[in-house]
Amino acid sequence: LVVKQLSAGSAREADVYQALWQHLERPPAVQMFGRDVAGGATFLYLEYATAVSPWPWADTVLAARVCEALAQLHDSRVLPRETFSWNYEDRLMGSAEETLQVARAARDASDQRVWRRLGDLRRVVGALPRIRRRLLSDRPTVIHGDMHPGNVILRRTGRIIEVLLIDWARARIGSPLEDIASWLHSLGCWEPQARRRHDTLMRAYLQSGRAARLFDSNVRVDYWYASVSNGLSGAIRYHLAVLVDATVTEAARANSRVALIAWERVVRRAAALVSTNLDR
């Protein structure tokens, strides 16, 4: 049993777990055994799941299993949309503006800007309302909203390996590409094999849905827009803050440098696409 205390802003996560287990035959989530409210805090009682390995992601087959599980989640039409509805778009817009402000101010010990390509970031933040309209015009559905290796457990049950997603606090209605872009981006930062097999994993996702899709030019454009949306929701700002915080460890600083290099690539690609591909 795992006891999880929810913050005030994520108290709806209990309703998400309940909806997943009420409406899906085999949800990609641990079970919730109950909830409690005490002292103004909400506590969830969740199933404890033992992972097959601390880091199984060098195996492309296992990484692809997560892509397939996401496709099945995104195909669901029985989950109650009201449970997953919250004002994410306003929060994202505010986060993007704050990210731009932090990027302008963030400087290293030699007084050099930590984020070097401010023009690209300004361009993407300015275009974000149009980016979001484009993304949400195509197959919006229930998404997990925070896909990275820390939120995925592979559990062996007999001869079957199950994909279990945890931390559903950011679950919402959104573009399914937001989930798969988040998964492949975060995995690619830390797993060379996943980075090399990026397109293979993306095709595993696209071919696993109810309506198989090609990884064509339109999907690629929307993939980059989904990825930059993810970065502007808080990830870029977090790593900038780490790099200007004198109290963090050198290991944490090194990890954030790696992460920011990957995010700079995403922002650069999205900025290059903005002027020619926002109109469908």
Q: What is the pLDDT of residues 45-97, one digit of tens each?
A: 999 999 999 999 999 999 999 999 999 999 999 999 999 999 999 999 999 99
Residue with tokens 């933040």, as numbered in its chain: 125
Q: What is the pLDDT of residue 178?
A: 98
Q: What is the pLDDT of residues 187-237, one digit of tens each?
A: 999 999 999 999 999 999 999 988 889 999 999 999 999 999 999 999 999
Q: CA-CA distance, 203 to 21, in Å (whole number)? A: 28
Mean pLDDT of 260-277: 93
Q: Which two tokens stand for residue 214?
A: 């090609």
DSSP one-letter code for 111: S
Mean pLDDT of 150-154: 97
**pLDDT beyond 60 at 280:** no
**pLDDT beyond 60 at 8:** yes
Q: What is the pLDDT of residue 39?
A: 81
Q: What is the dihedral of CA 10, 88, 170, 135, to 10 degrees?
A: 170
Q: What is the pLDDT of residues 13-52, one digit of tens each?
A: 999 999 999 999 999 999 999 999 888 889 999 999 999 9
Three-state SS annotation for 166-197: CCCCCCEEECHHHHHHHHHHHHHHHCHHHHHC
Mean pLDDT of 123-143: 96
**pLDDT beyond 80 at 127:** yes
Backbone angles phi, psi at 147, to 5 degrees: -85, 115
Q: What is the pLDDT of residues 235-258, one digit of tens each?
A: 999 999 999 999 999 999 999 999
Nearest Cα to 57, choosing from 171, 172, 186, 229?
A: 186
Q: Which two tokens stand for residue 224?
A: 């980059």
Q: CA-CA distance, 254 to 252, in Å (whole number)? A: 5
Q: Which are the contacts of 2, defined by CB distance < 8 A and separation ≥ 6?
A: 30, 45, 46, 47, 48
Q: What is the pLDDT of residue 279?
A: 59
- pTM score, whole prediction: 0.96
Q: What is the pLDDT of residue 234?
A: 97
Mean pLDDT of 105-116: 92
Backbone angles phi, psi at 47, to 5 degrees: -65, 135
* CB-CB contact of 178 with 222 (8 Å): no
* CB-CB contact of 223 with 213 (8 Å): no
DSSP helix/strand/coil, 34: strand
